[in-house]
Structure 1
Amino acid sequence: MTTYEVRAVATVVGGHTRVQDDYQGGVESIIRMDGAFPLETLQGIEEFSHLTVTWHFHQARPEDVQLHARSPRGNPSWPATGTFVHRNHRRPNQLAVSYPRLLRVDGRDLIVTDLDAVDGTPVLDVAPYFEQMGPRGPIRQPAWPGEMLASYWDDANGRPQS
């Protein structure tokens, strides 16, 4: 397989402090751009409501990767699906894409909400979300993602204490 070397362009500061499946909403965090990039690389980004953020599951280990079909979240009522049908750290490159809402910009800090990465997460790329480049046509998916993610964006303050 071909390999690529990728460097982080930013780091997540604050926000979620531990990895959790649900209750990701309502948490502010900072995407702090690396000082190696001139400030003008962010010029105009404040005009956008949302970002496309590619990040690495840095707390995952290579041995977490699972190259076989399995039920999402280990729930046998959901069908076993292949590795590339899941959106978690068990994928080969342990990458994620999120679409946080950009609240404001302060120098190299992009203050966002609804970013489902944790404090310290390396960010590999940041771009504005362009509505015209989103999905085209009707969206089709089975019922299980909606069931599994019913509480995903619920406010983090409403998480039941365990």
Structure 2
Amino acid sequence: MSANPITMIPIGVVSSPRVDLSDGNWGSVESLITIDSPGLWHEALLGLDTFSHIEVIYHLHRVPLEEIERGARHPRGRADWPNVGILAQRAKARPNLIGLARCQRLSVDGRALRVRGLDAVDGSPVLDIKPYLAEFGPIGEVRPPLWSHEVMKDYYRE
């Protein structure tokens, strides 16, 4: 099966104090998302200020193409954690370099959104934004593997 290429035009860009691709300590990071797409009207953000949290889909543009993982690896290169497929972890070096984050919406001012906890580095192209609705959360009990708790313990530390 061959897939047709998909073309996406970013709707905005992230301004963040974080420029490094390191993991951890994203909890207190405040970023600004500027919606700069001429294809979106100002009204596209209408009502977003009534939601406390949003989901941001962005391009992991700073990951070198030669680092993209297409098989399995130990999360964060730690041999003491299991070797798992790239689709069984949230690593940045993903096949399509797409990031997804839930973050706190702090403000909406015109075409600018201020957020906290967005794990996108400065200059990241924003592909889409959706309000976070608990009703779209998981159905049933969430049971992640034990190693994932250690991976995430400092990720959103402030």
Please state which band the TM-score falls in when normalised by the shorter chain. over 0.9
- C-alpha displacement of 1:131: 1.1
Alignment gaps of 5+ in structure 2: none
Cα distance in 2 for residues equivalent to 1:125 and 1:131:
18
1:65 to 64, 68, 75: 68
Q: Does 1:49 align with 2:52?
A: yes
Deviates more, 1:11-20 or 1:40-49: 11-20
- C-alpha displacement of 1:55: 0.6
- C-alpha displacement of 1:61: 2.1
Q: Which residue of 2 aligns with 1:101?
A: 104
Whether the 8 Å CA contact 2:52–2:105 is kept in 1: the answer is yes
Q: Which residue of 1 aligns with 2:33?
A: 31
Q: Which contiguous aligned blocks of 4+ residues in structure 1 show a shift greater than 2 angstroms?
A: none
- C-alpha displacement of 1:67: 1.8
1:80 to 76, 79, 83: 83
- C-alpha displacement of 1:35: 4.6
Task: Give RMSD over aligned pairs.
Answer: 1.1
Whether the 8 Å CA contact 1:10–1:34 is kept in 2: the answer is yes
- C-alpha displacement of 1:70: 1.4
Q: TM-score when scaled to structure 2?
A: 0.93
Cα distance in 2 for residues equivalent to 1:107 and 1:7:
20
- C-alpha displacement of 1:27: 1.3
Q: Which residue of 2 aligns with 1:159?
A: none
Alignment gaps of 5+ in structure 1: 156-162
- C-alpha displacement of 1:105: 0.6
How many residue pairs were aligned?
155
Deviation string 1:39-85 (CA, Å, 9 cap, x unpaired) is: 11100000000111101110012211122221111111111001211
Whether the 8 Å CA contact 2:16–2:120 is kept in 1: the answer is no
Cα distance in 1 for residues equivalent to 2:91 and 2:145:
18
- C-alpha displacement of 1:14: 2.5
Whether the 8 Å CA contact 1:35–1:108 is kept in 2: the answer is no
Deviation string 1:109-134 (CA, Å, 9 cap, x unpaired) is: 00000000011000100111111111
